[in-house]
Amino acid sequence: MPRRADLLSFAVLGLLHENPMHGYELRKRLNAALGAFRALSYGTLYPCLRSLLEKGWIVEAPATTGAGSAGSRRARIVYELTAEGKERFQTLVRESGPAAWEDDTFDVHFAFFARTEAEVRLRILEGRRSRLEERLANIRATAAKNRERLDAYTAELQRHGLDSAEREVRWLTELITAERSHPGPEPDHS
Protein backbone atom coordinates (compact mmCIF):
# COMPACT_ATOMS: atom_id res chain seq x y z
CA MET A 1 0.00 0.00 0.00
CA PRO A 2 2.71 2.48 -0.94
CA ARG A 3 0.47 5.19 -2.41
CA ARG A 4 -0.11 8.14 -0.10
CA ALA A 5 -3.89 8.08 -0.71
CA ASP A 6 -4.06 4.41 0.30
CA LEU A 7 -1.96 5.12 3.37
CA LEU A 8 -4.21 8.03 4.32
CA SER A 9 -7.28 5.78 3.90
CA PHE A 10 -5.68 3.21 6.21
CA ALA A 11 -4.94 5.90 8.81
CA VAL A 12 -8.47 7.33 8.64
CA LEU A 13 -10.04 3.88 8.97
CA GLY A 14 -7.78 3.20 11.95
CA LEU A 15 -8.69 6.41 13.73
CA LEU A 16 -12.40 5.90 13.04
CA HIS A 17 -12.05 2.35 14.36
CA GLU A 18 -11.31 3.94 17.74
CA ASN A 19 -14.41 6.17 17.64
CA PRO A 20 -16.48 8.31 15.25
CA MET A 21 -15.05 11.77 14.47
CA HIS A 22 -15.77 14.84 12.41
CA GLY A 23 -13.36 16.07 9.75
CA TYR A 24 -11.67 18.70 11.91
CA GLU A 25 -10.98 16.19 14.67
CA LEU A 26 -9.72 13.62 12.16
CA ARG A 27 -7.34 16.14 10.61
CA LYS A 28 -6.08 17.20 14.05
CA ARG A 29 -5.49 13.57 15.13
CA LEU A 30 -3.76 12.69 11.85
CA ASN A 31 -1.48 15.71 12.12
CA ALA A 32 -0.66 15.01 15.78
CA ALA A 33 -0.25 11.25 15.76
CA LEU A 34 0.93 10.29 12.30
CA GLY A 35 4.08 12.07 11.24
CA ALA A 36 3.57 11.21 7.57
CA PHE A 37 0.57 13.56 7.56
CA ARG A 38 1.96 16.57 9.41
CA ALA A 39 1.01 18.90 6.58
CA LEU A 40 -2.33 17.26 5.88
CA SER A 41 -4.84 19.70 4.45
CA TYR A 42 -8.60 19.52 4.16
CA GLY A 43 -8.02 19.42 0.40
CA THR A 44 -6.37 16.04 0.95
CA LEU A 45 -8.60 14.72 3.73
CA TYR A 46 -12.05 15.36 2.25
CA PRO A 47 -11.40 13.59 -1.08
CA CYS A 48 -10.20 10.62 0.98
CA LEU A 49 -13.38 10.73 3.08
CA ARG A 50 -15.51 10.91 -0.10
CA SER A 51 -13.70 7.88 -1.48
CA LEU A 52 -14.26 5.92 1.74
CA LEU A 53 -17.96 6.90 1.67
CA GLU A 54 -18.29 5.73 -1.96
CA LYS A 55 -16.69 2.39 -1.07
CA GLY A 56 -19.14 1.97 1.80
CA TRP A 57 -16.39 1.79 4.42
CA ILE A 58 -17.65 4.82 6.35
CA VAL A 59 -20.96 6.64 6.77
CA GLU A 60 -21.69 10.20 7.78
CA ALA A 61 -24.18 11.32 10.38
CA PRO A 62 -25.04 14.81 11.60
CA ALA A 63 -23.72 15.52 15.09
CA THR A 64 -23.74 18.51 17.37
CA THR A 65 -24.07 21.91 15.79
CA GLY A 66 -21.17 24.29 15.79
CA ALA A 67 -21.05 28.02 15.32
CA GLY A 68 -20.58 28.99 11.73
CA SER A 69 -19.86 32.37 10.18
CA ALA A 70 -22.02 35.35 11.22
CA GLY A 71 -23.52 33.37 14.07
CA SER A 72 -25.24 30.81 11.84
CA ARG A 73 -25.18 27.26 13.05
CA ARG A 74 -24.62 24.27 10.89
CA ALA A 75 -24.41 20.62 11.72
CA ARG A 76 -21.00 18.99 11.74
CA ILE A 77 -20.73 15.71 9.92
CA VAL A 78 -19.42 12.85 11.99
CA TYR A 79 -17.79 9.94 10.18
CA GLU A 80 -18.04 6.40 11.49
CA LEU A 81 -16.96 2.99 10.25
CA THR A 82 -19.38 0.57 8.68
CA ALA A 83 -19.02 -3.19 9.17
CA GLU A 84 -17.28 -3.26 5.76
CA GLY A 85 -14.94 -0.50 6.90
CA LYS A 86 -14.03 -2.47 10.01
CA GLU A 87 -13.31 -5.52 7.85
CA ARG A 88 -11.17 -3.42 5.49
CA PHE A 89 -9.20 -1.99 8.42
CA GLN A 90 -8.63 -5.52 9.80
CA THR A 91 -7.35 -6.63 6.39
CA LEU A 92 -4.96 -3.67 6.20
CA VAL A 93 -3.70 -4.07 9.76
CA ARG A 94 -2.83 -7.73 9.04
CA GLU A 95 -0.54 -6.81 6.11
CA SER A 96 3.03 -7.47 7.14
CA GLY A 97 4.96 -7.64 3.88
CA PRO A 98 7.70 -5.33 2.62
CA ALA A 99 5.30 -2.42 2.04
CA ALA A 100 4.70 -2.27 5.82
CA TRP A 101 8.44 -1.83 6.48
CA GLU A 102 9.07 1.15 4.21
CA ASP A 103 9.85 4.63 5.50
CA ASP A 104 6.51 6.14 4.48
CA THR A 105 4.32 3.28 5.73
CA PHE A 106 6.01 1.87 8.83
CA ASP A 107 4.91 4.72 11.11
CA VAL A 108 1.25 4.32 10.16
CA HIS A 109 1.35 0.56 10.74
CA PHE A 110 3.15 1.14 14.04
CA ALA A 111 0.50 3.66 15.13
CA PHE A 112 -2.08 0.86 14.99
CA PHE A 113 -0.02 -1.87 16.68
CA ALA A 114 -2.53 -1.98 19.54
CA ARG A 115 -5.01 -3.38 16.99
CA THR A 116 -2.44 -5.67 15.32
CA GLU A 117 -1.87 -9.33 16.15
CA ALA A 118 1.42 -10.17 17.89
CA GLU A 119 2.87 -12.27 15.05
CA VAL A 120 2.13 -9.50 12.53
CA ARG A 121 3.71 -6.86 14.80
CA LEU A 122 6.82 -9.01 15.12
CA ARG A 123 7.05 -9.60 11.35
CA ILE A 124 6.77 -5.87 10.67
CA LEU A 125 9.37 -4.98 13.31
CA GLU A 126 11.80 -7.64 12.05
CA GLY A 127 11.24 -6.62 8.44
CA ARG A 128 11.85 -2.97 9.26
CA ARG A 129 15.03 -3.82 11.17
CA SER A 130 16.27 -5.96 8.30
CA ARG A 131 15.58 -3.14 5.83
CA LEU A 132 17.51 -0.68 8.01
CA GLU A 133 20.43 -3.09 8.46
CA GLU A 134 20.68 -3.27 4.66
CA ARG A 135 20.62 0.52 4.53
CA LEU A 136 23.35 0.70 7.19
CA ALA A 137 25.57 -1.66 5.21
CA ASN A 138 25.09 0.48 2.09
CA ILE A 139 25.81 3.73 3.97
CA ARG A 140 28.98 2.25 5.49
CA ALA A 141 30.19 0.89 2.14
CA THR A 142 29.52 4.20 0.38
CA ALA A 143 31.18 6.18 3.18
CA ALA A 144 34.30 4.00 3.11
CA LYS A 145 34.55 4.20 -0.68
CA ASN A 146 33.99 7.96 -0.97
CA ARG A 147 35.60 9.21 2.27
CA GLU A 148 38.41 11.13 0.55
CA ARG A 149 36.16 12.68 -2.09
CA LEU A 150 33.49 14.09 0.23
CA ASP A 151 33.42 17.64 1.46
CA ALA A 152 32.91 18.15 5.20
CA TYR A 153 29.16 18.81 4.91
CA THR A 154 28.40 15.76 2.79
CA ALA A 155 30.48 13.61 5.13
CA GLU A 156 28.54 15.06 8.09
CA LEU A 157 25.23 14.30 6.36
CA GLN A 158 26.35 10.70 5.82
CA ARG A 159 27.35 10.44 9.48
CA HIS A 160 23.94 11.78 10.51
CA GLY A 161 22.21 9.17 8.29
CA LEU A 162 24.36 6.44 9.79
CA ASP A 163 23.64 7.59 13.36
CA SER A 164 19.90 7.79 12.68
CA ALA A 165 19.75 4.33 11.14
CA GLU A 166 21.83 2.83 13.97
CA ARG A 167 19.52 4.41 16.58
CA GLU A 168 16.43 3.05 14.86
CA VAL A 169 17.96 -0.44 14.60
CA ARG A 170 18.68 -0.38 18.37
CA TRP A 171 15.12 0.82 19.07
CA LEU A 172 13.64 -1.90 16.85
CA THR A 173 15.82 -4.55 18.50
CA GLU A 174 14.50 -3.44 21.92
CA LEU A 175 10.90 -3.59 20.65
CA ILE A 176 11.45 -7.03 19.12
CA THR A 177 12.98 -8.34 22.36
CA ALA A 178 10.08 -6.94 24.37
CA GLU A 179 7.52 -8.33 21.90
CA ARG A 180 9.07 -11.80 22.09
CA SER A 181 9.25 -11.67 25.90
CA HIS A 182 5.81 -10.19 26.56
CA PRO A 183 3.63 -9.92 23.51
CA GLY A 184 0.93 -7.35 24.07
CA PRO A 185 -2.65 -8.44 24.40
CA GLU A 186 -4.31 -9.59 21.24
CA PRO A 187 -6.31 -6.79 19.68
CA ASP A 188 -10.06 -6.47 20.10
CA HIS A 189 -11.44 -6.73 16.58
CA SER A 190 -14.84 -5.33 17.45
Query: Do 8 and 77 fall into the same domain?
Result: yes
Count up the domains in the chain and report the number.
2
Query: Do 87 and 25 fall into the same domain?
Result: yes
User: Range of 75's domain?
Assistant: 4-92
pLDDT tens digits for range 40-87: 777 888 999 999 999 999 999 876 555 444 455 567 899 999 999 999
Query: Do 126 and 85 fall into the same domain?
Result: no
Query: Do 76 and 24 fall into the same domain?
Result: yes
pLDDT tens digits for range 109-164: 999 999 999 999 999 999 999 999 998 998 888 878 877 788 889 888 888 989 99
Q: Residue 26, Cβ neighbours under 10 Å: how many?
A: 23
Query: Does residue 190 belong to any structural domain of this protein?
Result: no
pLDDT tens digits for range 13-30: 999 998 999 988 998 888
Query: Do 9 and 87 fall into the same domain?
Result: yes
pLDDT tens digits for range 40-52: 777 888 999 999 9
Query: Does residue 127 belong to any structural domain of this protein?
Result: yes
Q: What pLDDT score does 143 carry?
A: 78
Query: Does residue 100 belong to any structural domain of this protein?
Result: no
Query: Do 152 and 78 fall into the same domain?
Result: no
Is this model's pTM higher than 0.75 or not? yes
Query: Do 88 and 27 fall into the same domain?
Result: yes
CATH code (residue 64):
1.10.10.10
pLDDT surpassing 60 at residue 38:
no
Query: Does residue 68 belong to any structural domain of this protein?
Result: yes
Q: What pLDDT score does 65 carry?
A: 54
Query: Does residue 32 belong to any structural domain of this protein?
Result: yes
Query: Do 18 and 82 fall into the same domain?
Result: yes
Question: Among 58, 75, 92, where does a domain finish?
Answer: 92
Range with the lowest mean pLDDT among 76-80, 104-108, 175-179? 104-108
> Is residue 76 within 8 Å of residue 63, measured between CB atoms?
yes
Q: What pLDDT score does 68 carry?
A: 47
Helices (H), the chain: 4-18, 23-33, 42-54, 83-94, 103-111, 118-146, 152-181
Query: Does residue 106 belong to any structural domain of this protein?
Result: no
Give the whole-number percent of the chain exceeding pLDDT 70.
85
Query: Do 11 and 79 fall into the same domain?
Result: yes
Query: Do 8 and 87 fall into the same domain?
Result: yes
pLDDT surpassing 70 at residue 189:
no
Query: Do 129 and 56 fall into the same domain?
Result: no
Q: What pLDDT score does 89 carry?
A: 96
Query: Does residue 161 belong to any structural domain of this protein?
Result: yes
> Is residue 9 within 8 Å of residue 83, measured between CB atoms?
no
Query: Does residue 101 belong to any structural domain of this protein?
Result: no
Q: What pLDDT score does 69 carry?
A: 46
Question: Among 92, 107, 127, where does a domain finish?
Answer: 92
60 Cβ contact list (under 8 Å, min separation 6): 53, 77, 78, 79, 80
